[in-house]
Structure 1
Amino acid sequence: MKIALIGYGKMGHAIEEIAVAKGHEIVLKINIDNTEEFTSQSIKQADVAIEFTGPDTALGNILKCIENGVPVVSGSTGWLDKWSEVEGAVKENEAAFLYSSNYSIGVNLFFEVNKYLARLMKDYPDYDVEMEEIHHTQKKDAPSGTAISLAEQILENLPRKKGWINEAAHNAEELAIISKRIDPAPGTHVVTYKSDIDDIEIKHTAHNRKGFASGAVVAAEFLENRKGIYSMRDVLFGG
């Protein structure tokens, strides 16, 4: 499989290492210093693009891949308010797109545990819930995309919570997400249900970027030759 890497920072390098080890070929590497090389002609060399950039550039990068008929896997966060534009472009171009806030297989299994626990806890109002996420100091967004995904899963399954905030909660309907930036942490997410009697806690800790990179390559392998919009849930559990 020929892969284009749109975003060639630490994550891009990790993806490259794993993809090459699996026998794939990297045909394009785009970073902030060579954006002029990201052309319709160059992207069409690829069977799949893997896009890890930032909130300011992600949407344009994704649309460019879609409009040129290249399936794109994206892990960029902070742009989802423009989701409908991507959805429309995928339909118009009969293209393929796969998005996840986190490509780690472990995190995506953690997502399923989080949803199940929230469903269990909805009948036990004595337990309040809060979240904590810890990342390295270079991470630009807070809360993390993964933390937002976890929070939204809780809100969908725990009716007593009406919204999340990125600070300590001020009332019982708010779900607190506490963000910490500490080097060299690649990513820790904790969901805690607290009562006067006891606490229940689930936690995922990433030791390095390999889990994220490996999952992104698996997602790219899944997306090749498909049409439509997918998630890591489709990759792991069928789609």
Structure 2
Amino acid sequence: MKIALLGYGKMGKVIERIALERGHEIVLRKSSADTFEGLNDADVAIDFSIPDAAVGNISACLNGNVPVISGTTGWLEHYHDMAKLCEDKNGAFIYGSNFSLGVNIFFELNTYLAKMMASLKQYRVSMEEVHHIQKLDAPSGTAITLAKDIIANSDYSSWAIGNPQEDEIFINAKREEGVPGTHTVMYDSEVDSIEIKHTAHSREGFALGAVIAAEWLLGKKGIYSMKDVLGLQ
């Protein structure tokens, strides 16, 4: 499989190494200032760029009939535009706030726990996410996905990173040196606390999941998620 890497920072380099180990070829390594030369040679593209570049990268792929995986967060106000473009072009697209296989299992646990806790009004839910200081968006896309899944299964209406209202989930976003990503969901009452937590030890898990998603998407048409890739639908 020939892969275009859109975003060639630390994450892009880990994806490259894992892709090569799995027998794939890299035909484009695009940093922010580079062109899309070589994109037409790709069987699939993997976008781990920056929020300002994501829409342009995804659009170029869909317009060029190249299936695209995007793990870039912080651009989701344009997600529906990209989904429509994918449908108009009969393309293939997967967005994931986190491609780690473990995190996607964590998403399922979070949803299941939210359903169990929905009627127990004595518990107040909150979240904490910790990432490396180079991460540009806060809260993380993973934290937002966790919050949205809780909201969909509870009386909470939104999330907030400061001074939450009664119907908002507080997300404490921290940036610390050398932290790949840690997410904790906490339910607190006067008598006890319940929490679930996922801790990434490196970028390897995110990169492996992205390459597996690219392998899965090859030859398909439509808009998918990691739930489809992992058979969790």
Do both share a fold (TM > 0.5)? yes
Instruction: Report the residue type matching 1:32 in the other structure.
Output: S
Partner of 1:166: 161
Could you tell me how far apart the structure 2 residues matched to 1:116 and 1:213 are? Answer: 26
1:192 & 1:172 partners in 2: Cα distance? Answer: 16
**Shift of residue 167, structure 1, vs aligned partner:** 2.2
Equivalent position of 1:116 in the other structure: 112
Matched, 1:82 2:78: yes
| Alignment-derived partner of residue 6 in structure 1 | 6
Question: Which residue number corresponds to residue 69 of structure 2?
Answer: 73
In structure 1, the gaps of 5 or more residues are none
Aligned with residue 197 of structure 1, among 191, 195, 201: 191
Whichever residue aligns with residue 16 of structure 1, its letter is E
1:155–1:163 CA contact under 8 A, matched in 2: yes
> What's the RMSD between the two structures over aligned residues?
1.0
Which amino acid in structure 2 is aligned with residue 127 of structure 1? Y
TM-score by length of 1: 0.95
Q: CA deviation at 1:15?
A: 0.3
Counterparts of 1:203 and 1:238, CA distance in 2: 20
Aligned-partner SS, 2:129: strand
Q: Given the alignment of the two structures, is residue 144 of structure 1 paired with residue 140 of structure 2, yes or no?
A: yes
- Of all paired residues, the percent bearing the same amino acid is 53
Query: Are the aligned partners of 1:9 and 1:31 in contact in 2 as well (CA < 8 Å)?
Result: yes
Q: Does structure 2 conserve the Cα–Cα contact (< 8 Å) formed by 1:115 and 1:153?
A: yes
Q: 1:86, 1:184 → 2: CA distance?
A: 32
Offset of residue 93 of structure 1: 1.0
Gaps spanning 5+ residues in structure 2: where? none
- Work out whether 1:57 is the aligned partner of 2:69: no
Distance in structure 2 (CA, Å) of the matches to 1:176 and 1:141: 16
Match of 2:40 among 35, 41, 44: 44
Partner of 1:187: 181
- Looking at structure 1, the residues matched to 182 and 163 of structure 2 have their Cα atoms a distance apart, in angstroms, of 18
1:193 and 1:85 map into 2 onto residues whose CA distance is 35
- Local SS of the residue matching 2:28: strand
Question: What is the number of equivalent residue pairs in this alignment?
Answer: 233
Match of 2:52, SS state, is: coil
Which residue among 219, 222, 227 is the counterpart of 2:221?
227
- Partner residue, 1:154: 150
State the shift of 1:193 in Å: 0.2
* Cα 1:238/1:187, change in 2 over 3 Å: closer
The residue that corresponds to 1:218 in the other structure is 212
- Classify 1:207/1:168 alpha carbon distance in 2 versus 1 (closer, same or farther; 3 Å): farther
Amino acid at match of 2:143: A
Cα deviations by residue, 1:61-97 (Å, 9 ceiling, x for unpaired): 1010000000000011111111121112111111000
- Distance in 1, matches of 2:42 and 2:232, equals 25
State yes or no: 1:103 paired with 2:99. yes
Letter in 2 for 1:80: L
Match of 1:30 in 2: 30
Determine if contact 1:168/1:177 at 8 Å carries over to the other structure: no
* 8 Å Cα contact 1:71/1:223 also seen in 2: yes
- The SS at the match of 2:180 is coil
Q: How many angstroms apart in 2 are the aligned matches of 1:230 and 1:32? A: 26
Aligned partners of 1:168 and 1:178 also within 8 Å: no
Runs of 4+ in structure 1 displaced over 3 angstroms? Answer: none
